[in-house]
Copies of this chain bind each other. A is one copy, B any other.
Amino acid sequence: MANPTIKDVAKMANVSIATVSLVIHDHKRISRVTKQKVLEAIERLNYYPSRSARGLVSQKTGNIGFILTNDHFLRTEPFYTNIFIGTEFEARENELYVLLTTVDSNFKDSDPLPRFILERNVDGIIIAGKVPSILTEKLCDFNLPLIFVDFQPVKRNCPVVVVDNNLGGKMATNHLIEYGHKNIGFVGGDIDHPSISERYKGYTAAMEQAKLTLNKNFIDFVEDYPARTNGFQAASRLFKNNKDITAVFACNDAMALGIIDYLKDNGKRVPEDVSVIGFDDVVSENSNGPSLSTIRVPKMEMGVEAMKLMSSFLKEGINHNKKVLVPVELIIRNSTQKI
């Protein structure tokens, strides 16, 4: 049969459609023999309930929306892609599907919300990375479960999966300090971004703890997206006036690569003359040549954790406003060395 429905099963098993439905949901009011009879019919007809019909009456779609900004989506760095893959992975374990969409990086009040929300086509929403707070506000009105990953909104108190950026910043800086560096630069992106400010705080904390002077000239923040070319620019500013910097901690790998580009262009060797460490570990997999020391962020795991929070909330209904802090790891490769 083309597409058997619950009616076909009921007919074949000689019961009402309600009975079939109850069997599917393993309801206790059904006797052993009837259950068996129905299950056989289901098997023989190769019947599966229609998602649309189910969704209509139960108001559950089995879909989770995944939102990130254009910027994060289009940058080819696989950072958010890997988080997404993680959610996909865990979704499958829980019989869910993920609908991905993007919103403009400067979402306005008048902009339409993602279609899957308006059409009530998701049971919950995972938001990855920094999004405009106006968006967060609007999403909250839909009372759909909302989970943030790699970004903690300031106002709202939602379950969140974040990297221990502060610790990571400390680890990166301490690694350079342990290698004997004293004049350690920092290159950051938008300081308003929680992740970046936390990494910066880790840097300053480590420096202070080691009783190293925090030289303002050794610190550079770019306003733009923290991309490779901006790392290059930042390095040019940094090294023009500070010939004595021997190590730089970049707030992410892309900027670290830009810094290395600059140093090479200007006759400095990495790591012989200058050590450089990044953050995120997005370079490793398919790279060639001297590799980048960095702080690894478990991107897939973050997605997995976010989806776990979502799924347990949907099943158990407890909104344990949890904050999952995923661990970071120092990865020492060939862009840092002892002084």
Q: Mark A40-64, 1 if CB is under 8 A from B, else 0.
A: 0000000011111111100001100
Q: Is the CB of A97 within 8 A of B116?
A: yes
- Count of identical protomers in the assembly: 2
Are B282 and A286 neighbours in the complex by a CB distance under 8 Å?
yes
Give the complex CA separation of A51 and B65 in angstroms.
14
Kindly state whether residue A322 has any CB partner on chain B within 8 Å. Answer: no
CA distance A52 to B121 in the complex (A): 7
CA distance A120 to B88 in the complex (A): 19
Q: Give per-residue flags for A222-249: 1 if the beta carbon is below 8 A from chain B beta carbons, else 0.
A: 0000001000000000000000000000
Whether A288 contacts B287 by the Cβ 8 Å rule is yes
Q: How large is the interface on A (under 10, 10 to 19, 20 to 34, 35 or more residues)?
A: 35 or more
Interface 1/0s, chain A 56-85, versus B by CB < 8 A? 100001100000000001001110010001
- A287 contacts B290, CB within 8 Å? no
Whether A77 lies near B286 (C-beta < 8 A) is yes
A85 to B66, CA, bound (A): 13
Which residues of B lie under 8 Å from residue A335 when comparing CB positions? 288
Question: Does A119 touch B at the CB level, under 8 Å?
Answer: yes
Docked complex Cα distance between A241 and B153 (Å): 61
- Given A288-B291, A289-B289, are A56 and B61 also a contact pair (CB < 8 Å)? no
Residue A268 interfacial (CB < 8 Å): no
Which of A189-197, A207-215, A253-261 is found at the contact surface with chain B? A253-261
User: Which residues of B are found within 8 Å of A291, using beta-carbon distances?
Assistant: 288-289
Kindly list chain B residues whose C-beta atoms are within 8 Å of the C-beta of A292.
288
Q: List 7 A-B contacts (CB under 8 A).
A: A51-B116, A51-B121, A52-B56, A52-B121, A55-B55, A78-B78, A81-B85
